[in-house]
Amino acid sequence: MIAEFTSGARDGSARAGSVRLARGEVATPGFMPVATRGTVRALPTHVLAGLRTANDAGFDLLLSNTYHLMLRPGAEAVAELGGLHAFTGWDGPMLTDSGGYQVFSLEPRVTDEGAEFASTYDGSRHLLTPELAVQVQELLGADVQMVLDVCPPLPSSREVLERAVDTTEAWARRALRARTRLGDQSLFGIVQGGVDIGLRAQAAERTVALGFDGSAIGGLSVGESRAEMLPAIEAAVAVLPEDRPRYLMGVGDPVSIVEAVARGIDLFYCVLPTRLARHGTLLTDGGRLNITRAEFARDPGPIQAGCTCPSCTHYERGLLRHLAAVDEPAAATICTIHNLWWMLQLIERIRTAIGEGRLTALRAEVAAVWDPSPPG
Angle, in degrees to the nearest 10, between helices 158-178 and 130-140 = 50
How far is 141 from 86, CA to CA, in rounded Å? 10
Nearer to Zn ion, 54 or 373 (CB): 54
Interstrand relation of 281-284 and 287-290 (parallel, antiparallel or unpaired) = antiparallel
Q: Least Å distance between CB 39 and Zn ion?
A: 20
- Interface stretch with Zn ion, choices 100-108, 284-292, 338-346, 361-369 (CB under 5 A): 338-346
- Site residues for Zn ion, window 245-304 (CB under 5 A)? 303
Query: Both ends of the chain: CA-CA distance in Å?
Result: 44
Kindly identify the residues of this chain, within the stretch 6-65, that bind Zn ion according to CB under 5 A. Answer: none
Q: Where are the beta strands (DSSP E) in the chain?
A: 4-11, 14-21, 24-28, 30-32, 34-35, 62-64, 94-96, 109-110, 115-118, 125-128, 144-146, 186-191, 214-217, 246-248, 267-269, 281-284, 287-290
Closer to Zn ion by Cβ: residue 52 or 158: 52
Part of the chain binding Zn ion (CB under 5 A), chosen from 99-107, 145-153, 320-328, 332-340: 332-340
Q: How far is the CB of 335 from Zn ion (least distance, A)?
A: 9
Could you tell me the smallest distance in angstroms from the CB atom of residue 284 to Zn ion? 8
Closest approach of Cβ 344 to Zn ion, in Å? 10
Question: Of 241 and 287, which CB lies nearer to Zn ion in the complex structure?
Answer: 287
Complex with Zn ion: residue 200 or 338, whichever CB lies closer: 338
Please tell me the count of residues contacting Zn ion according to CB under 5 A.
Answer: 6
| Cα–Cα distance, 336 to 274 (Å, whole number) | 5
Closest contact distance (angstroms) between CB of 234 and Zn ion is 34
CB atoms within 10 A of CB 350: 26
Comparing C-alpha atoms, which of 63, 60, 65, 64 is closest to residue 19?
A: 60
76-84 CB contacts, 8 Å cutoff, 24+ apart? 76/139, 78/139, 78/140, 78/141, 79/139, 79/140, 79/141, 83/139, 83/140, 83/141, 84/140, 84/141, 84/142
Q: Taking CB under 5 A as the rule, does residue 338 contact Zn ion?
A: yes
User: Can you list the alpha helix ranges (DSSP code H) found in 141-192?
Assistant: 158-178
Q: 212 and 98 in contact (C-beta within 8 Å)?
A: no
Please report how close the Cβ of residue 250 comes to Zn ion at its closest, in angstroms: 25
- The 302-321 contact track toward Zn ion, x by CB under 5 A, reads -x---x-x-xx---------
Q: Which is nearer to Zn ion, 216 or 309 (CB)?
A: 309
Minimum gap (Å) between residue 306 Cβ and Zn ion: 9
| 21 or 312: CB nearest Zn ion | 312
Sites of contact with Zn ion (CB under 5 A): 303, 307, 309, 311-312, 338
